[in-house]
Amino acid sequence: MRYSIKTIVTAAIAVGALTSANAQNTRSGYFIDDYTYRFEMNPAFGNSKNFIAMPGLGNVNASMNGTIGINDVLYNVDGRTTTFLNPEISASEVMGNIGDRNRVGADLKITLLAAGFKSWGGYNTIAINARSGLGVKLPGEIFSLLKEGASNKEYDISDVRAFANAYAEIAFGHSRDINSEWRVGANVKFLLGGANLDTRLKNAHLILGENDWSITSEAEINANIKGLEYKTDINDDTHHEYVSGADVHNTGLNGFGMAFDFGAVYNPKSLPDWSFSASLLDFGFISWSNNMVASTNGVKTFNTDRYTFNVDDDAPNSFKHEWDKIKDDMSALYELDDMGNKGGQTRMLGATMHLGAQYTLPVYRPLTFGLLNTTRIQGAFSWTDFRLSANVAPAKCIDGGINMSLGTFGVGFGWIVNFHTTGFNMFLAMDRTLGKLAKQGVPLSSNGSVNLGINFPF
């Protein structure tokens, strides 16, 4: 079965809008002294007690960040949920909600096992985490093409990108005071790769006219998945063998790598109420094996005058009617050749940088205020976030805080509640509080998060 670009792009929009999760660690807990996993945001932080995590539930992090959400592609018309393609929804309304560059990012991190203890002149941590990530990038002209058809003469929908990966990390950390003002720390991580997928529509340029039209395209998929084999089929019209799907047999580890975290905390004696901190996380790589490549094998170009378009939707040769006739011809431009196993490839991780400043209120020292900048360095999927927080520890057994954020993904509200008593610790936090939900419980916005954990301090 062949798929036209319209089908492929519509599916990509749906997947991108529905995908949820983009958080490595809860930034709402960065300035909370008794938040157990501060060392994962800055390895210079050390806990006041030893701890052991509840297996699988010590630190569960899931969130989503994006510039487009379900409410931008799904609409309510007469009590029914419909897509933005519904003719009862105007193009101006749809495009008013769509930007030039639309992204949805994803990260999921689950701590399987973790422990921390004081020894060797500092604080030490061990953690085994399962991590996965996903990102989708879509130019606004894709939505314009699908919604408006041939009302415009030219569309450039190049640089459609999507990636997904999954891996495990085994991390060892150590932090210590080097003098009365400075504390430093580092984590070393050994990475076990599970799967990596990178899809890119490098070039897609359409010129649609009333008498003729042309299109150029270039696309490639790199799939590092052990046991993956592409399925192929034959185009009856062109007799071209193309990739029609994929099968995975006997999957397993398919990559190895290493990464480092570095951090420092500065408590100047001249400013006793202030503390400054910085960290760089996930500075490293994974060397992936079994790189199965599918591509257009260069730039493809197609020109024809077989079809004519009329901007009048009721005309016999309207874009809607002509699309049904030409979709099989167009799909041939996006049929990918099975290029086979191209061996291994090495990919850098998306590194994260934190810069923080904390002020302790002199008249009530359990109350602090913090300013944190977080920047993800990940090429086309980079982002930044500024977060202002107020944090309080009203009793020995509980602390928490609230914060406001502003950055690449707009304005957000976050909070954390951290309960800790003898032998037991539980926390719940959201860097981005979930907004309105659809009937199925799916967030209408692409921004939200949740972090929870149960640990046993001693």
pLDDT in tens, 170-202: 999 999 999 999 999 999 999 999 999 999 988
Domain region containing 93: 5-457
- Residue 358's pLDDT is what? 98
CA dihedral 327, 331, 332, 338 (to 10 degrees): -160
Q: Which of 392, 427, 349 shows the shortest CA–CA distance to 189? A: 349
Distance CA 430, CA 269 (A): 34
Number of domains composing the chain: 1
Q: How confident is the model at residue 397 (pLDDT cuts 50, 70, 90)?
A: very high
DSSP H/E element including 73: helix 70-73
- CA angle, residues 167, 456, 47, in degrees to nearest 5: 80
Is the torsion defined by CA of 411, 42, 59, 426 positive or negative?
negative
Count CA atoms within 13 Å of residue 262 on its CB side.
4
Count CA atoms within 13 Å of residue 298 on its CB side.
2
Q: How confident is the model at residue 22 (pLDDT cuts 50, 70, 90)?
A: very low
Q: What percent of the chain has pLDDT over 70?
A: 83
Q: Residue 324 gets which letter from DSSP?
A: H
- Residue 317's pLDDT is what? 57
- Residue 12's pLDDT is what? 42
Distance CA 368, CA 356 (A): 13
More confident residue, 203 or 114: 114
Distance CA 324, CA 306 (A): 13
| pLDDT tens track for 76-115 | 787 777 777 777 788 888 888 888 888 888 789 999 999 9
Which of 114-118, 297-301, 340-344, 427-431 has the weakest average pLDDT?
A: 297-301
- Residue 209's pLDDT is what? 65
Which of 101-115, 337-351, 360-374 has the largest mean confidence?
A: 360-374
In angstroms, how far is the first alpha carbon of the chain from the final one? 60
Distance CA 37, CA 58 (A): 9
Q: Is the pLDDT of residue 306 over 70?
A: no
Q: How confident is the model at residue 308 (pLDDT cuts 50, 70, 90)?
A: low
Q: What is the CATH number of the domain that holds 422?
A: 2.40.160
Question: Tokens at residue 384, please?
Answer: 């930044």
